[in-house]
Structure formats: structure tokens, C-alpha cells
Amino acid sequence: MGVLNVTPDSFSDGGRYLDQGAAVAHGLALVAEGAAVVDVGGESTRPGAEPVDVDEERRRVVPVIEALAPHVRVSVDTRHAAVAEAALAAGATLVNDVSASLHEVVAAAGRGVGWVAMHMQGDPRTMQEAPRYDDVVSEVRDFLVARATVAASAGVEEVWVDPGIGFGKTDEHNLALLAHLDTLVATGFPVVVGTSRKGFLGRLLASSDGTDAVGTDDRLEGSIATATWAMWQGAGMVRAHDVRATVHAARVVAGEIER
Ligand code: HH2
């Protein structure tokens, strides 16, 4: 799943694709690099991000989805029902829902439309202030299984679950969720994981004196290492900014040999 943020403020590519022409061109480049899905988002959910007006979010994503949908499966990265509905009308067939609450919109859209339920503690503005769990792995799993079960009973045929790396989690929580990804895979719901360029990678790669977390443009190796781990553990999809490198890693994990 290639990331396409049509936003001024996303944490790693904010402002690069706010222009519609640039966004569509980048989406097509992701397809050429091997993305099976392009995930179009019009609201940053980075820690501390301010919410975006729904009309503005819709205005950002709809034309880009219309342009890309004939070429690739498009998902819409949104927390808002009105944006999800407009995106589905424009040709998206997957709702990537970081609020894990839009299953009814997806059920109403009928066959062929899927839903990603992602776990988040709190909301983006405040989620990193003091994340707390007794047992992060089982709490995230239980939450996702409950949401996925409700969606499946409402008639959603394709339901993905995502532990929401970085969404209301400390670095230790993120690492525990990755270390125990098999717990989520064992639920039987297909798993999506997004680690690409995230802050915990920057901190893991910081210099040994603990200063200077590695910047967003210098987290490729960490992103590929964690994506590879996730695929190896059985994740069915990884969300990535650097699609070419991630597709190469996926092909190696799958043991594909072209003759
Ligand atoms: N992470 C981000 C956004 N959407 N969706 C899913 N399913 N899983 C994730 O881990 C995930 C997500 C955050 O990354 P990004 O889109 O690059 O940044 P921003 O939220 O600042 O636009």
C-alpha cells in the first residue's frame, strides 16, 4: 500500500503533493513501482495534528481518487464518514479508517468494498501525551477483533486489522506490537502494518549518546527492516512511502524467482 498524502502537514511528505497534478503523478509513480493499493489521505494524523475541515479534506482527495481509480485500487485514509462516502463514489474501494468506526459506511457501499480497522488510543492531537496499557498486545488485539467482528456481522466482506504503530503508543508499545505480530495474525483477519518513516525508527537509530533522532528522510533501512519483519510474520499488506524498496523486500520474503 503506497502512501499519498494530499496534505500540507503530513510528517514526512507534507506539502509535496498538495497540488493535484503532483499528487496524481506521484500516485502513478507508486503504481509503476509496484504498489497494489494507493492510499490517498487529506488529513494528517501525525501526533499533535489539528483536525481538518471535512469539506476541505473532501476537496483534497476526491479529484485525486477519480484520476487514480482507473489505474489502481485506491484506498482513502480518513476518519470521516462524509469523506469516505465521497471517496467511494469517486472510485475508491477500500476505506483505511484510523478511527475504526466507519464500518457502516463500508457496509452500505456493498460488495467489493473493504475496510481497514486501525487501533488508536485517544486522538491525534493528544495521543502521544501519556499512552498507557496493562498489556498492549492483548488490548490491541481484543479491540481489533471486536471491531472486525461487528463489521463482518454488518456485512463487510473484506476486513483488515492494523495495530496502529505510533498511534497512542510509546516506543516500547510499538516494539511489543511488532514483536508479537503473530498474535494479531492468529486472529485470522488479514493484517496491515504501517511503520514507514515513523518516529520510533528515528529514535532507535539515534546516535548512541541519545541525541538527534534520525530524520524522516533517513529512515529507509528501518522502514524496510520492520516491513520485512511484518511480512515475514504474516502481515498481508504493509503501508509504505518508499514503494520500490518495499516491493523488492516483499519479493525476497515471498521467495519469488523470475526465470
Ligand atoms: N499511519 C499513518 C496514516 N495512516 N493508516 C494505517 N492503516 N496504518 C498506519 O500505520 C497509518 C495509517 C501515518 O503516516 P502518514 O500518512 O505518513 O502521515 P500523516 O498522518 O502525518 O499524514
Our answer on whether the CB atom of 226 is closer than 6 Å to any ligand 1 atom is no
Our answer on whether the CB atom of 128 is closer than 6 Å to any ligand 1 atom is no
pLDDT score of 211: 64
pLDDT score of 23: 97
Residue 39's DSSP bridge partners are 3, 75
pLDDT score of 5: 96
Confirm if 6 and 40 have CB atoms less than 8 A apart: yes
Confirm if 191 and 147 have CB atoms less than 8 A apart: no
Q: Which atom of ligand 1 is nearest to the CA of 164?
A: 10
Q: What digits encode the pLDDT tens for the residues 68-109? A: 999 999 999 999 999 999 999 999 999 999 999 999 999 999
| Residue bearing the CA closest to ligand 1, atom 3 | 45
Q: What is the rounded distance in angstroms from the CA atom of residue 59 to the CA atom of residue 195?
A: 27
Mutate to test the pocket of ligand 1, among 77, 95, 121 (most ligand atoms within 8 A of CB): 77
| Residue bearing the CA closest to ligand 1, atom 15 | 10
Q: For residue 163, report the distance from its CA to the centre of ligand 1, in Å.
A: 12
CA-to-CA dists, residue 99 to 120, 122, 255, angstroms: 7, 10, 35
Our answer on whether the CB atom of 156 is closer than 6 Å to any ligand 1 atom is no
Q: For residue 166, report the distance from its CA to the centre of ligand 1, in Å.
A: 9
Q: Which active-site residues does the annotation give?
A: 198, 239
Q: What is the rounded distance in angstroms from the CA atom of residue 186 to the CA atom of residue 233?
A: 10
Q: What's this model's pTM, rounded to 2 decimal places?
A: 0.96
CA-to-CA dists, residue 245 to 46, 65, 98, 128, 216, angstroms: 23, 24, 25, 29, 16
Q: What is the rounded distance in angstroms from the CA atom of residue 71 to the CA atom of residue 73?
A: 7
pLDDT score of 208: 64
Our answer on whether the CB atom of 216 is closer than 6 Å to any ligand 1 atom is no
pLDDT score of 206: 86
CA-to-CA dists, residue 114 to 62, 107, 111, 182, 223, angstroms: 18, 9, 8, 22, 25
Q: What is the rounded distance in angstroms from the CA atom of residue 40 to the CA atom of residue 7?
A: 10
Q: For residue 259, report the distance from its CA to the centre of ligand 1, in Å.
A: 36
Judge residue 227's burial from the number of C-beta atoms within 10 Å of its C-beta, 0-12 exposed, 13-18 middle, 19 or more buried. buried
Our answer on whether the CB atom of 162 is closer than 6 Å to any ligand 1 atom is yes
Our answer on whether the CB atom of 5 is closer than 6 Å to any ligand 1 atom is yes
pLDDT score of 48: 87
Q: Render each residue's pLDDT in the chain as its tens digit; 259 residues.
A: 999 999 999 888 888 998 999 999 999 999 999 999 999 999 999 888 888 999 999 999 999 999 999 999 999 999 999 999 999 999 999 999 999 999 999 999 988 999 999 999 988 888 888 899 999 999 999 999 999 999 999 999 999 999 999 999 999 999 999 999 999 999 999 999 999 999 999 999 886 666 678 899 999 999 999 999 999 999 999 999 999 999 999 999 999 776 6
pLDDT score of 232: 96
